[in-house]
Amino acid sequence: MLNAVTRFRAHLAGVAALLFAAALAASFALPVQAHALEVERWTAKANQDSDNTTVLGATPTRVTWQGQTDEGESVAQVVINLPEGTTVEAENVKPTVMSGLDRLEVSAEATVEGTSVTVNFPEGAPAGSLLMVELNRTLFPADGGTFGLKGSYTTADGQTHDMPPTDAQITISASSPTEALANWIDGQDWVEAWNSVRFLELFFNPATIVRCIPALFSGWLLSLAVVAISFPLAIPLGLLWSFMRMAKHRVPRAIGATYINIVRGTPLFLQLYIAFFGLPQMGINITPFAVGAIVLILNSSAYLAEIFRAGIQSISKGQFEASRSLGMNGVQTMFFVIIPQTVRRVIPTMTSEFILMYKDTALLSAVGVTELMMRAKVITATTGDITPYIVAAGFYLIVTIPMTKFINSMESRMGRGRKRKKGAAAPALASPAAAEPTSEAVIARNIRMSETFAAPAVDGDLLAQGNHMSH
């Protein structure tokens, strides 16, 4: 019995050894699939400016494939099979061969047949080099989907292999109605003729205009929000700096003059950078929107201070003296007599400052605020043409042109008013003083209109004295 068990074990050991030897021999006999290429990248650039990840179908995007060749193998051809319904032009296929950080001068030819993109290297890509193929202005299917990498490559010795597997996938979102409209426009014959002119295609591409409007509209609203918050806050701050600039005491006058001269003497772009990079180093972390709004307020207040100072100093000193003679103190005189007249005189200049602030919001794109200019830059980087900037210019003009017309009409009305006053007074001149708009008679009339704001302690003798002085 013991001998039978021993013989059985010996038999099993022999069978196992025989199977192992057969497997080893088969491993040497069968060819091993060794890739001469490793895929390092398979991505599509986001083409929706609301975030940095979404890729819309039927919207131009840039697809990038990148592969590393083996140290002992040269690659002669790369074939990339795009999803069904994808379109890309051969002229937009850009192959690049790199060795480390150096770009190699290697001849390459790109062809497109349907959804298959083929890049040939007639002389072969050097062994150990990095291959990169960029597919610019690629249009994925409008209904979206998730697409992996498919294709093949051929080595210099003529062997063709399937594209090495990779976990990287491109996720495409379904296109919006705006994209559908843009695609329909792209298919029109007149658009094709229009885009045949290179200048028109780059600067006034009809389909790109349609795609840009919804995306830039939100950036335009953000720009308006910045101005709507900043400008009203800059007005009282500008008044404060103006009062300090005109103060009788030396210290506040020096502080006001120093602030105004420094702010007006340095570029707004530099002020944005100082605030954006300096505040975090001081431990103050606020959003880019808040940083931009604060800098615009501080910058505009310096210019408004000079506007208000010029307006206040344009008021006749006789009005100061007459209002004080009526019993008004300095604060009442300033707020009830001087400032109302000053505001009326500086409204055109303040409106110009509003327009300048609105245009200066474009600089906020440098510190990461996704306003109108930033969104235009993102779309331009994706599409490769200048049309988004032209559309952005149109959004700026929507505000600046009406405001400019408003300034011109206001100045015209003020000019006609001055002429009417002079023309009406000429036939009935009682004295030379009556012909001057800033005469004492006009001052007295302004003072009488402001008497209701005076302190109740003003007595009849003081009023009579004020009227006597004004006449």
pLDDT for residue 81:
96
pLDDT for residue 326:
81
SS (H, E, C) the chain: CHHHHHHHHHHHHHHHHHHHHHHHHHHHHCCCCCCCEEEEEEEECCCCCCCCCCCECCCCEEEEEEEEECCCCCEEEEEEECCCCCECCHHHEEEEEEECCEECCCCCEEEEECCEEEEEEEEEECCCCEEEEEEEEEECCCCCEEECCCEEEEECCCCEEECCCCCCCEEEECCCHHHHHHHHHHCCHHHHHHHCCHHHHHHCCHHHHHHHHHHHHHHHHHHHHHHHHHHHHHHHHHHHHHHHHCCCCHHHHHHHHHHHHHHHHCCHHHHHHHHHHHHHHCCCCCCHHHHHHHHHHHHHHHHHHHHHHHHHHCCCHHHHHHHHHCCCCHHHHHHHHHHHHHHHHHHHHHHHHHHHHHHHHHHHHHHCCCCHHHHHHHHHHHHCCCHHHHHHHHHHHHHHHHHHHHHHHHHHHHHHHHHHHHHHHCCCCCCHHHHCCCCHHHHHHHHHHCHHHCCCCCCHHHHHHHHHHHC
pLDDT for residue 467:
38
Please identify, in words, the CATH class of the domain defined by 208-432.
mainly alpha
Q: 331 — phi, psi (to 5°)?
A: -65, -45
pLDDT for residue 331:
78
pLDDT for residue 445:
44
Buried b (16+ CB within 10 A) or exposed e, 297-313: bbbbbbbbbbbbbebbe
pLDDT for residue 211:
84
pLDDT for residue 51:
54
pLDDT for residue 438:
44
Q: Give the length of the chain.
A: 471
Distance in angstroms (rounded) separating the CA atoms of residues 68 and 48 = 30
Ordered by start, the domain boundaries in the chain are: 37-175, 208-432
pLDDT truncated to tens, each residue of the chain (471 aa)?
Answer: 545 555 656 655 565 555 555 555 544 444 444 557 899 999 998 876 555 678 888 778 999 999 999 988 899 999 999 999 999 999 999 999 999 889 999 999 999 999 999 999 999 999 999 999 999 989 898 888 999 999 999 999 899 999 998 999 999 988 778 877 887 888 788 998 998 999 999 999 998 899 889 889 999 999 999 999 999 999 999 999 999 998 889 999 999 999 999 999 999 999 999 999 999 998 888 999 999 999 999 999 999 999 999 988 888 887 878 887 888 887 788 878 888 888 888 888 899 999 999 999 999 998 888 899 999 998 888 778 899 999 999 999 999 999 988 888 877 776 666 566 555 544 443 333 333 444 444 444 444 444 433 433 333 333 333 433 333
pLDDT for residue 179:
74
CATH architecture of 37-175: Sandwich (2.60)
Q: Is the pTM of this model over 0.85?
A: no
pLDDT for residue 18:
59
pLDDT for residue 451:
41
